[in-house]
Every structure is written in C-alpha cells, then in structure tokens.
Structure 1
C-alpha cells in the first residue's frame, strides 16, 4: 500500500468520527483525485447529496488548479443548487513526496442560522450578500455545464455560437479553473460546446501557447 492509499484508509474512520460528532447538519467527504471525475471515495453524513463515486465540485477543481501549492481553505461559505447555505473547509491531502492527490472536505449546513441572521439584517435595513453557488453533484458533467454556463453569461452568448477565438478564450478560462486536470474532461467539454474532441484538444493547445515561457 503506497502512502496515498494508506492516508485514505486512515481517514475513513476520521470522517465518520467528525460527522458523528457534529450531527446531522455535518458531512465529511473524502476525495481521491487520482480517480478523476469520480473522486469521492468516502462520505459520512448527508449535506450535499453526494455518494461514493460522485464528482468533485468547483472547489475541488480549484485545488487541482493550484496543484502541489494548494493549501487549506477554511470556513468558506457557498450555496447548494437547491439554495441551502453550507459552511465548508477543504484540506488537501499529500502523499509521501508532497504531491497533492486528494482532499478532506467538511461541510456544515448553516441554512437555518443564515436565515436567522438574514432576518435580523433585514430588520436593521441591510441586505446581506448571497454566497456563491457551488455545484455539488455525483455527475461531473453537471460541474462542466455550470462552468460553461457561467462563461456564457459572462460573454452574453451561447457556447455553441462562439467563434474559434472566443472558444479558445473560454477553454483558457476552464483550464485556469482546473477542469482539464480531470481525466475524461475533454469529451465532456466537447459535448457541451458541440464540437469534436480533436477541436477541443487543438484549441486547448492554442490557448496554452501564451503561457509557454519564451527563450
């Protein structure tokens, strides 16, 4: 058993213990990014509705995008697709060589607390900001779709109607979000954009040219 597998095995009971300690509003998700789009290897509790074999979210993609430089992201707040407010912490996992291979995520449903706080803010005449939405799902295609839709809104045009230059810019944005660090991401993106996989590979290579160091 290598160091990464040993850490996953050691953290499974830890996940159960954390979830049991904090009760039904807490969920602990253990990710192994080596498994690609089906990175969830253990779930204790139920907040985001994911199961073993489920997908990583935009938050997990951000860890992948940072690579081995990723650090703990603690006590951030987001919204589930159905509007619940979740306070989370994501802690990258490293193997014996210091490479990030997964993450331990703790999610706490604070919707009731948030609603009470929003009511008090409204009584005081303040409008509290809404936390960003996060795509918690068992299907990575849903995450890709959410990210592409965000890019479509930013551009004011459907992805299928973009010219090559605009498509290259879109792919660059997805690449910076860590999408293409996930195995099998290219077919998902190609289907969403309505182009061939070879077109995505070619455009992705073009989008990365500006990042290559010059002599």
Structure 2
C-alpha cells in the first residue's frame, strides 16, 4: 500500500506533517548524544523516492531529499501491518557494519506513514571483538551479515534488490515461468513496486517490455495467497 495523501485527507496530512516537524529536534538530539558513530534519519513514506526529510550524522552518507533504503521498502510493503525493527545488524556496500533500529511512525488512524531510523557504526567494535576472541583462542568465522544499499538514488536501491533476487547463474531468458513469477513476487513483497516508475526500471533491466512486466506482476499477485499488496502509481498501467 502507499500513504500518499488524497484531497480529502487534509487533517491527516496536517497531523503527519506536525509529527515529522516535532521529531526534528529528536533526530539531532539522538545523533549528538551518540556522537560521530551515529546517524539518525527521519523518513516520510508518502514520497518513497525522496523520503529523507531530516538527517543528522554521516554514517551512510544520507542527505535530505534522498531515497529510502531497501529496509524502508520492506516496511512500506507491509503497510499498516509493519512493526518496529529494533537492534538488527546490517552492512553497507563499503563494508561498514551497522547496528540499526527502524521505528515506524503512525498517525492517529494507525496508518504507517514514515519511520525514524538510527544507524550506529560498530565496525571498529567488531574488529576489537575479533582481536580479543583471537587472543583468547576463540576466533572463528563470523556469520554473514546482510548487505543493505543506502543511497540518495532510489534507482540504485531498486537495482540492488533486483540483483539480490535474480539468480546469478541465470539470465531472465534462462528462467522458467515459475521462477520468473517468483522473482516478481519477491520484489513485490519487498515494496519495490510501491516506488513510482520502478516497473519500468525492472523491465529495462530484464530486457522485457513494460507490458510484459505488468503482466508478470499481475500473475505473481494472482498466484500469491490473498492479502493486501503494495500499490503505487508505478504499479498500475
């Protein structure tokens, strides 16, 4: 689902705007408390391609007007069923290890419309822990940490999700129909098609027509279990 405002939602729009304004000092306060290893980002999901409305700190290089990450897309895909994701570990494309929390924002009607995200760079902490473990004779390979694409360009985030779900040993032409549908279903479940023009971007990457992409998306949704799906202007012809 999307949280784009409709003409008759003036009071709710004003309420959401007021909540975001009130959180501005919170963004700066949290970042100042934890220092240079901390970044706090405030998102307005009504505009996924430019969701960052406030940021303090420089852990992921986010700037105001930047796009949501794939974590934000996942929240967007869950709609009003989304819940806070607290104290999870992820890794940036440059290899920095982050401990993060994403706290969803709701209006008085319970509609999810944004998120407050805290990212703490714990890369050096991990290195010290590894050194201490090695000295204690308890060293060993650490489990893989998922890589998250952070950037101000929504296209790079969509590309990253597509790369993550397209089998590395197969091209689109080499995928059987069930796997093609599974690819579109996975992208849909992660909120990709809630982003305007994402369907055109995916079609171009796969080398298929826009009409074919819409068809696969429709079939994937039909084959899935009944339930709400993320929608957007970009997910309808």
Give the aligned partner of residue 184 of structure 1.
197
Map residues 9-88 of structure 1 onto 2, 5 A cutoff.
9-88=21-100
Aligned-pair CA distance for 1:37 = 1.7
C-alpha spacing 1:109/1:63, structure 2 compared with 1 (3 Å): same
Q: Which residue of 1 aligns with 2:3?
A: none
Instruction: Give the structure 1 partner of residue 154 of structure 2.
Output: 140
Query: Unaligned stretches of 5+ in structure 1?
Result: none
Q: CA deviation at 1:175?
A: 0.6
CA 1:87–1:5: 2 relative to 1, 3 Å: same
Structure 2 regions of 5+ residues with no counterpart? 1-12, 227-237
| Equivalences for residues 105-116 of structure 1 within 5 A | 105-116=117-128
* Counterparts in 2 of 1:191 and 1:122: CA distance versus 1, 3 Å: farther
User: Is residue 38–residue 120 contact of structure 2 (8 Å, CA) maintained in 1?
Assistant: yes
SS in 2 for 1:53: coil
Cα RMSD for the two superposed structures: 1.7
* Pairing 1:174–2:161 present: no
Paired with 1:43 and 1:167, the residues of 2 have a C-alpha distance of 38
Aligned residues: 212
Per the alignment, residue 230 of structure 2 pairs with none
* Residues 130 and 139, structure 2, Cα contact 8 Å, conserved in 1: no
Q: 2:132 aligned to 116, 120, 131, which one?
A: 120
Alpha-carbon distance in 2 for matches of 1:68, 1:140: 22
1:176 Cα deviation after fit: 1.2
Structure 1 counterpart of 2:9: none
Distance 1:65 1:97 in 2: 18
CA contact (8 A) 1:121 1:128 kept: no
Normalising by structure 1, we get a TM-score of: 0.91
Give distance in 2, aligned partners of 1:5 and 1:170.
36
CA distance in 2, matches of 1:126, 1:186: 43
Instruction: Note the alpha carbon deviations across 1:151-190, whole angstroms, 9 max, x for none.
Output: 223x621336545543222111101112112222212212
Q: TM-score, normalised by structure 2?
A: 0.83
> Are the counterparts in 2 of residues 91 and 103 from structure 1 also a CA contact under 8 Å?
yes
The alpha-carbon distance between structure 1 residues 52 and 159, as it changes in their structure 2 partners (threshold 3 A), is farther
